[in-house]
Amino acid sequence: MLFHVRMDVRIPHDLPSDAAAEIIAREKAYAQELQRSGKWRHIWRIAGQYANYSVFDVKDNAELHEVLSGLPLFKFMDIEVTPLLRHPSAIREDDS
């Protein structure tokens, strides 16, 4: 099942920089692991913002919640999720 996800990150200004750097490093490693597994299919940064648009390919809502809540930056994010369904006019067979 595909999901379009917008993530806006808001790290508190009073979080010590070394703690923020450690969380960001763990976030990058986890995100890259999910990309290698095929669960995090696409990620695009939104220019000028600490935010991204992503496409996840997971079994269901519960798995998406598990993946997103496992993000080290999760507690600092506003997340908007939109389920996606293949459009009947789509010509690419590998985008389902």
Residues 87, 96: Cα–Cα separation, whole Å: 9
Does any domain span residue 93? no
Does any domain span residue 95? no
Does any domain span residue 96? no
- Express each pLDDT in 22-77 by its tens digit: 999 999 999 999 999 999 999 999 999 999 999 999 999 999 999 999 999 999 99
Name, in order, each residue with C-beta under 8 angstroms of 12's C-beta and a sequence gap of 6 or more: 76
Q: How many domains does the chain have?
A: 1
**CATH number of the domain encompassing residue 35:** 3.30.70.1060
pLDDT at residue 82 is higher than 90? yes
Does any domain span residue 15? yes
Predicted confidence at residue 86, as pLDDT, reads 86
pLDDT at residue 90 is higher than 90? no
pTM for the model stands at 0.90
Does any domain span residue 92? no
Does any domain span residue 44? yes
Eight-class DSSP state of 6: E
* Side-chain half-sphere CA neighbours of 23 within 13 A: 18
- The one-letter amino acid code at 36 reads R
Residues 86, 96: Cα–Cα separation, whole Å: 6
- pLDDT level of residue 87 (50, 70, 90 thresholds): confident
The dihedrals phi and psi of 77, each to the nearest 5 degrees, come to -115, 145
Residue 19: domain span: 2-87
